[in-house]
Amino acid sequence: MGSSFGQLFRITTFGESHGGGIGVVIDGCPPRISLGESDIQGELERRRPGQSELVSPRQEPDRCEILSGVFEGQTLGTPIAILVRNQDARPEAYRELKETFRPSHADFTYEAKYGIRNWQGGGRASARETIGRVAGAAVARKVLATLFPAIELVTYVTHVHDVAAAVNSDSVRRSEVEANPVRCPDAAAAVRMKAAIEQARLEGDSLGGIIECVIRGAPAGLGEPVFDKLEADFAKAMLSLPATKGFEIGSGFAAAAMKGSEHNDPFAIREGKIRATSNRSGGVQGGISNGENIIFRVAFKPTATIARRQQTVTASGEETTLEARGRHDPCVLPRAVPMVEAMAALVLCDHGLRQRALSIS
Amino acid sequence: MGSSFGQLFRITTFGESHGGGIGVVIDGCPPRISLGESDIQGELERRRPGQSELVSPRQEPDRCEILSGVFEGQTLGTPIAILVRNQDARPEAYRELKETFRPSHADFTYEAKYGIRNWQGGGRASARETIGRVAGAAVARKVLATLFPAIELVTYVTHVHDVAAAVNSDSVRRSEVEANPVRCPDAAAAVRMKAAIEQARLEGDSLGGIIECVIRGAPAGLGEPVFDKLEADFAKAMLSLPATKGFEIGSGFAAAAMKGSEHNDPFAIREGKIRATSNRSGGVQGGISNGENIIFRVAFKPTATIARRQQTVTASGEETTLEARGRHDPCVLPRAVPMVEAMAALVLCDHGLRQRALSIS
Amino acid sequence: MGSSFGQLFRITTFGESHGGGIGVVIDGCPPRISLGESDIQGELERRRPGQSELVSPRQEPDRCEILSGVFEGQTLGTPIAILVRNQDARPEAYRELKETFRPSHADFTYEAKYGIRNWQGGGRASARETIGRVAGAAVARKVLATLFPAIELVTYVTHVHDVAAAVNSDSVRRSEVEANPVRCPDAAAAVRMKAAIEQARLEGDSLGGIIECVIRGAPAGLGEPVFDKLEADFAKAMLSLPATKGFEIGSGFAAAAMKGSEHNDPFAIREGKIRATSNRSGGVQGGISNGENIIFRVAFKPTATIARRQQTVTASGEETTLEARGRHDPCVLPRAVPMVEAMAALVLCDHGLRQRALSIS
Amino acid sequence: MGSSFGQLFRITTFGESHGGGIGVVIDGCPPRISLGESDIQGELERRRPGQSELVSPRQEPDRCEILSGVFEGQTLGTPIAILVRNQDARPEAYRELKETFRPSHADFTYEAKYGIRNWQGGGRASARETIGRVAGAAVARKVLATLFPAIELVTYVTHVHDVAAAVNSDSVRRSEVEANPVRCPDAAAAVRMKAAIEQARLEGDSLGGIIECVIRGAPAGLGEPVFDKLEADFAKAMLSLPATKGFEIGSGFAAAAMKGSEHNDPFAIREGKIRATSNRSGGVQGGISNGENIIFRVAFKPTATIARRQQTVTASGEETTLEARGRHDPCVLPRAVPMVEAMAALVLCDHGLRQRALSIS
């Protein structure tokens, strides 16, 4: 269970890192949205390994195939299945992992839960699983572009280890994010981040960081009271991504040290519209978007796979040590940017459709 | 929509702060669990106003009534409906709010979403809505006590504004939490927190803070891969609570500034069992519990309702000012402790049942 | 589990025949629909006992109370909870049933499933459970009247035991249905049905029958391909009602003995619109409404509770006999008419909202 | 929407008759169930065209591929994706259907719902869609064999047009069903059915019929009160199949003409167990299995595609005539047997897991 996400725009993903392939079924996509494999392929390129010197050199072409739900370039309203074959599978590279639990990976917990696991490259717990999310989100983006054309998502790295970027969330553009392999729009910080990541690789180590996502142009009224608050669904979406340890919206954890008189966002009339004149709410009040920018941040831990020797145990219960030999990213942040953005798009699309269903005007 | 939570142990809540009452329907409770109104009432007492000098002086007896699903002191397996009548309703106290949007409240967003709102005391967006959650969680706790008797939840305040507590999550007990009205088990910090809250009240202001929850004794294997990871469901649960701005598990945002060699939790054999010798994972790896303590933190903003004059607008689009006159908590943290714990119990109970359903041994 | 129905317009019911009460929570009702208790009460009157000489003489006022979700006569968009208190409870009348399983009732199966049951009057398996459905459907009808004002539902008895009515589904009106206590719009047949029911009561026996529902004015396009076909959801809805044994749509079981050349509904142009010139499809093709009348029938078994002596067993496993002494209906059909219509309205409302959510024009 | 079925054992199907392929994702399959492609392929063979002289001569090899969720011959607990490629696609054979709505098909309603349709061979409304169901059910059968090894399903044709079979549901075996191409275990009736079908083909016509399914060995206690009654889920499952017009369980529509004293199933003690001594209930009482044989019937209309000339209209709104030239089955019953059985297995598996989840003993 747990492989579906969304109420109306609902994706169901499948696939392990090794095996036939990875994919997604999207149920609830409106009909007559133009869609082709190139719409999806572009997003997949942003998440795949081998795209820059900063990430894992694995070469996975990750070509997607639309199996259903599209006819003559348009969605049919029926489920859209998308498949990406696994190709660069080298299970023998993982044979050591058959017997040894990698620290801070899911090897032990999958074994505890299921009594069986695909030990080849992480199986279902591999970040390769996110291909299904990114493909599904590529479709969500097309729906958003049709139904909510004003919505714009920009997602970027703000922190890598001890390097912090300065980014203006009101104006940052996607082209600035894509201008460097770190996906940090503060070019100077990006240089330092890149250096830090390369140093970590040399040391056989890895680095954590923070990603920020800003959504501009969302209408007021998205999100449902109580359990499906917009920020609750963003939080679930983000904490469902591999390697995430925290989520905050607007003022976030800093709110804990603030007073109400500092934190509240006053309302005023601006150009005839009701506007909040500050945005510590992060664009959401009472779980519902207020028309201001939605802004949240996600904390990522350092990659668990490191080349240094670590203490661990075998599946049969003996203490041992492990030195990772596989290909891995010393910092997941650059490749996690499209994953965060994908989950954000899925949440927005689902809530957009939900709001349409119950509007009576 | 959005008023249900959980897959197998599923609660559906209802009710506004003013109107007939607040309640919950619990579907999926196993049969033959002993349950009475006193089991629920005890938890409701912890969240209600008027329980100490630190919180709103509203006097709401909040007596619960079990309407269905229980027979001769035992659950029937059929839905359990629980109702708490609204009593201390003084809608006239809120008449000003019919016309004026309170800053950083849900007044404006509900109006934008629905074109109508119950302006009496916050309606569905009132923290009074959490009665349904707490009542549902009281039942979840009984289920957990039956099926997973080793599980123990302790939840407490660690920060109020700039006061931080020192708490040992391995050993803290609920009695220490309940020993003072702040619900902070560090008695010295609690004194300073109490003073800070009283000072904020005098200033017509409010304070934010942080709550931590530790779950001891949970078995390995709870949580589902991909979207329903245990931490994803905790994150959603917590961000669905009023006034929350952030969630982190284990190392949380601090992980962003760490290296993998510092962050990974080594495995070792301890008393014949596989154990992680540190717990930066926070008890969850790959979305599944690993048998160590589950530990997470939730950031709360300062109460939006403050006595100070604020800039805002009317529903008809004119700028105005507002000074809250109602009864309110200058700091939600003490009363939020049982709310956080309630949501944690609901997530655990649901995932406990889910794991039982699919186990084949 | 199993106490919720609907995807977007979703009801969750609760309550046993004895205990605090029976009710429903409706999540997903659009805002700003006018709604008052009288809208609901009228539908409840149609299903309650004591309304005519043909049904159980139990006197249950069944007064409904709206607990939430309505403000100043309009829906808020938040969950609507409706409660009907149990009043005419005489548990002592049922004490014999504590020990004895009534044939063809749910006593034995509840015991087998849960290991516990509320033996007072059928508990959750009592037809009194349908109060929640009827109340929820009263709200669905208001939504339909707002969003799909052309839709008209008429439901009526066509068979009681061996008496068959002749009804023209194209023209039958609700007033004709309500013109007699049998709820059969063929007045002559109704007289014979009434006599048959009275005779059965005198004999301590009970009678089965068939109810037909016609929905006029539904637009083409309702229903989802594959699993949530419109007729599939009607079938589930009807077979979820107590005492139902069968469902058929359009030609129904008679289709089994037909040839395609007899069965197919030709298309033609009528007044500029595409129309089927016959309606063996029953208004649904490929699971989706085609704009013609939707027409289906539901088979009801004779009431299981009869005054005649029957062979049965005790809960402790001994053979015994049972003669029902309680108050009961010798034929459920008259009171089942509003139940069938309620479920039909719920299905239509849910599919109506679903279709709106995904339409892009 | 509407492409998923089941709560715990949940399948999501995808695919049109023409396009990349047809498939299913199964979420909620327990781990460590032995599973290979041959388990699935065997069931697919039973439903595919070209298997006998009675059905469509289309040659579709329908080879399945397991894409995920299985490792070294065992299920992993993660989603199982199964893909069957489309091969014998001759879209040009359907070009006439681009402009013409086939009577009693889904062409018109899909167009009305979506404003677009894949006119090649029925698209999503093709019976080819059931491949996903049958593949999913093949996995459900493996789960049932592991968790409920006593359960046995036998499904067979009882009526084709005016030919009725005599079958003893207590003893009929699958081998008797598979002994002839009609899948009717009454060999004499099967001969007459075969002749009737061949005659219909010669006349360019088609025939309806009835399929019965008996489930032996199911434990008491499966099914949920109120909406998810076992028969309600069977009814939905069956009416979701193409060409179905009715469903009945146990006594079915015949119950309408019975008296309670005839219909009730007395209880007695047999070999120390509580047993119903007749089975008009069809194995389900109050929505929950009672341990007796579960028995239900499904009515199928005659195939809508016939070679005779029919009146219809074009998509642009002109009257025309149509003579089907494609390959088609003059009677769907033989191939529908495995589809009915598949849906029955899915319902049983889901309810079996649901019952396990909430049992506390």
Contact B260 A300 (CB under 8 A): no
* pLDDT at B262 exceeding the cut of 90: yes
CATH of the domain at D334: 3.60.150.10
pTM greater than 0.90 (yes/no) = yes
Determine, yes or no, domain membership for B90: yes
Chain C residue with minimal CA distance to D199?
A: C259
Q: Taking CB atoms and an 8 Å cutoff, what residues of chain C touch B22?
A: 68
Query: Which residue from B344, B330, B248, B336 is spatially nearest to B300, judged by alpha carbons?
Result: B336
Range B30-42 average pLDDT: 97
Chain A residue with minimal CA distance to B252?
A: A245
Look at A78-92, B221-235, C75-89 and tell me which has the smallest mean pLDDT: A78-92
Q: What is the pLDDT of residue B47?
A: 85
Range C342-356 average pLDDT: 97
| Distance between CA atoms of residues A309 and A321, nearest Å | 6
Q: What is the pLDDT of residue D52?
A: 76
Cα of D107 to nearest chain A Cα, Å: 13
* pLDDT at A339 exceeding the cut of 90: yes
Strands B310-313 and B319-322: antiparallel
Q: What's the whole-number average pLDDT of chain C?
A: 94
| Distance between CA atoms of residues C134 and C140, nearest Å | 10
Query: Which residue from A135, A132, A129, A125 is spatially nearest to A41, judged by alpha carbons?
Result: A135
Chain D residue with minimal CA distance to B357?
A: D357
| Distance between CA atoms of residues D4 and D13, nearest Å | 7
Which among B32, B78, B359 has CB closest to D225? B78
Which among D146, D225, D357 has CB closest to B360? D146
Contact B12 C8 (CB under 8 A): no
Which among A2, A247, A263 has CB closest to B104? A263
Q: What is the pLDDT of residue B329?
A: 85
Contact C14 B66 (CB under 8 A): no
pLDDT in tens, C63-118: 999 999 999 999 999 999 999 999 866 666 777 888 899 999 999 999 999 999 99
Question: DSSP label at C271?
Answer: T
Residues of A with CB under 8 A from a CB of D: 1-4, 8, 10, 12-16, 19-23, 25, 27-28, 31-32, 65-71, 74, 76-81, 83, 113-118, 123-124
Contact B77 C113 (CB under 8 A): yes
Which among C28, C147, C357 has CB closest to A360? C147
Q: Taking CB atoms and an 8 Å cutoff, what residues of chain B touch A209?
A: 256
Contact A20 D76 (CB under 8 A): no
Chain A residue with minimal CA distance to D30?
A: A114
Beginning with the edge strand found earlier in the chain, give each strand of the sheet holding C10-14 in spatial order. C4-5, C10-14, C21-27, C80-85, C64-66
Chain A residue with minimal CA distance to D68?
A: A15
For A344, how many CA atoms within 13 A lie in the half-sphere containing its CB? 26
Which among D22, D76, D114 has CB closest to A76? D114
Q: Which of C80, C358, C359, C361 to mutate to test the interface with A (most CBs of A within 10 A)?
A: C358
Which among B20, B31, B117 has CB closest to C116? B31
Chain C residue with minimal CA distance to A352?
A: C357
pLDDT in tens, C112-130: 999 999 988 889 999 999 9
Residue written as token pair 């015949």: D254
Query: What residues contact residue A3 under an 8 Å CB cut-off, 6+ apart?
Result: A12, A13, A14, B224, B225, B226, B227, D25, D27, D78, D79
* pLDDT at C360 exceeding the cut of 80: no
Q: Taking CB atoms and an 8 Å cutoff, what residues of chain D touch A133?
A: none
Contact C31 A146 (CB under 8 A): no
How far is the CA of B181 from the CAs of B55, B186, B332, in angstroms?
Answer: 9, 12, 12
Q: What is the pLDDT of residue A48?
A: 80
Contact D260 C286 (CB under 8 A): no
Query: Which residue from B301, B328, B97 is spatially nearest to A265, judged by alpha carbons?
Result: B301
| 3-class state of residue C138 by DSSP | helix
Torsion of CA D178, D183, D188, D192, to 10 degrees: -140
Q: What is the pLDDT of residue C304?
A: 95
Q: What is the pLDDT of residue A88?
A: 64
Are A227 and B234 in contact, with CB atoms under 8 Å apart? no
| Distance between CA atoms of residues B6 and B14, nearest Å | 15
Contact B115 C22 (CB under 8 A): no
Which among C3, C19, C25 has CB closest to B14? C25
Instruction: Express as a percent the part of chain C with pLDDT over 70.
Output: 96
Q: Give φ, ψ of C249 to 5 degrees.
A: -120, 140
**E strand segments, chain C:** 4-5, 10-14, 21-27, 64-66, 70-71, 74-75, 80-85, 152-160, 163-164, 209-216, 244-249, 267-270, 273-276, 284-285, 288-289, 294-300, 310-313, 319-322
Contact B79 C12 (CB under 8 A): yes
> What does C183-222 look like in DSSP terms, one character per residue?
--S-HHHHHHHHHHHHHHHHTT--B-EEEEEEEESPPTT-
Q: What is the pLDDT of residue D246?
A: 98
Q: What is the pLDDT of residue C57?
A: 65
Are B296 and B213 in contact, with CB atoms under 8 Å apart? yes
CA A60 from chain centre, in angstroms, equals 19
Number of Cβ within a 10 Å radius of residue C90? 13
Query: Which residue from A230, A203, A208 is spatially nearest to A344, judged by alpha carbons?
Result: A230
Q: Taking CB atoms and an 8 Å cutoff, what residues of chain B touch A251?
A: 245, 301
Contact A31 C357 (CB under 8 A): no
Contact B208 A258 (CB under 8 A): yes
Token couple for C281: 């499809």
Look at A201-215, B159-173, B277-291, D346-360 and tell me which has the smallest mean pLDDT: D346-360
Q: What is the pLDDT of residue B327?
A: 66
Contact A115 D32 (CB under 8 A): yes
Q: What is the pLDDT of residue B120?
A: 85
Q: What is the pLDDT of residue D59?
A: 66
* pLDDT at C55 exceeding the cut of 90: no
Which among D235, D236, D354 has CB closest to C1? D354
Q: Taking CB atoms and an 8 Å cutoff, what residues of chain C touch B107?
A: none
pLDDT in tens, A249-301: 999 999 999 999 999 999 999 999 999 999 999 999 999 999 999 999 999 99
Which among D103, D231, D245 has CB closest to C249? D245
- Report the run of H or E that residue B12 belongs to, with start and end: strand B10-14
| Distance between CA atoms of residues B28 and D358, nearest Å | 7
Q: Which of B14, B27, B32, B86 to mutate to test the interface with C (most CBs of C within 10 A)?
A: B14
Contact C67 B124 (CB under 8 A): no
Contact C358 A146 (CB under 8 A): no
Largest CA distance in chain A: 70
| Three-state secondary structure of chain A | CCCEECCCCEEEEECCCCCCEEEEEEECCCCCCECCHHHHHHHHHHHCCCCCCCCCCCCCCCCEEECCCEECCEECCCCEEEEEECCCCCHHHHHHHHHECCCCCCHHHHHHHHCCCCCCCCHHHCHHHHHHHHHHHHHHHHHHHHHCCCCEEEEEEEEECCEECCCCCCCCCHHHHCCCCCCCCCHHHHHHHHHHHHHHHHCCCCECEEEEEEEECCCCCCCCCHHHCHHHHHHHHHHCCCCEEEEEECCHHHHHHCEHHHHCCCEEEECCEEEECCCCCCCEECCEECCCCEEEEEEECCCCCCCCCEEEEECCCCEEEECCCCCCCCCCHHHHHHHHHHHHHHHHHHHHHHHHHHCCC
Query: What residues contact residue D318 under an 8 Å CB cut-off, 6+ apart?
Result: C269
Q: What's the whole-number average pLDDT of chain A?
A: 94
Domain count, chain A: 1
Question: DSSP label at C254?
Answer: G
pLDDT in tens, A133-182: 999 999 999 999 999 999 999 999 999 999 999 999 999 999 999 999 99
Question: DSSP label at B7?
Answer: S
| Distance between CA atoms of residues B21 and B87, nearest Å | 8
Q: Which domain holds residue A135?
A: 4-358
Q: Give φ, ψ of D188 to 5 degrees.
A: -70, -45
Q: Count how many residues are written for chain C.
A: 361
Number of Cβ within a 10 Å radius of residue B61? 13
Contact D301 C257 (CB under 8 A): no
ipTM over 0.90: yes
CA D150 from chain centre, in angstroms, equals 22
Contact B27 C16 (CB under 8 A): no
Q: Which of C353, C360, C361 to mutate to test the interface with A (most CBs of A within 10 A)?
A: C360
Contact B247 A239 (CB under 8 A): yes
| Distance between CA atoms of residues C16 and C22, nearest Å | 6
| 3-class state of residue D231 by DSSP | helix
Q: What is the pLDDT of residue B96?
A: 80
Query: What residues contact residue C32 under an 8 Å CB cut-off, 6+ apart?
Result: A360, B114, B115, B116, C74, C75, C77
Which among C1, C113, C285 has CB closest to D228? C1
Range B229-247 average pLDDT: 98
Q: Taking CB atoms and an 8 Å cutoff, what residues of chain B touch A124?
A: 225-226
Chain A residue with minimal CA distance to C145?
A: A360
Look at A98-107, C20-29, C57-66, D172-181 and tell me which has the smallest mean pLDDT: C57-66
| Distance between CA atoms of residues B104 and A280, nearest Å | 9
Token couple for A152: 């714009």
Q: What is the pLDDT of residue B88?
A: 64
* pLDDT at C223 exceeding the cut of 90: yes
Question: DSSP label at D322?
Answer: E
CB neighbour burial string for B133-152, b if at least 16 within 10 angstroms, e if fewer: bbbbbbbbbbbbeeebeebb
| Distance between CA atoms of residues A37 and A27, nearest Å | 17
- Report the run of H or E that residue D270 belongs to, with start and end: strand D267-270
Residues of B with CB under 8 A from a CB of D: 8, 28-33, 77-78, 146-147, 225, 353-354, 356-360
CA D57 from chain centre, in angstroms, equals 20
* pLDDT at B53 exceeding the cut of 80: no
- Averaged over successive runs of 10 residues, the pLDDT of chain D (361 residues) comes to 96 95 97 97 87 70 94 97 86 79 96 93 91 98 97 98 98 97 98 97 96 98 97 98 98 98 97 96 98 98 94 94 81 97 98 90 62
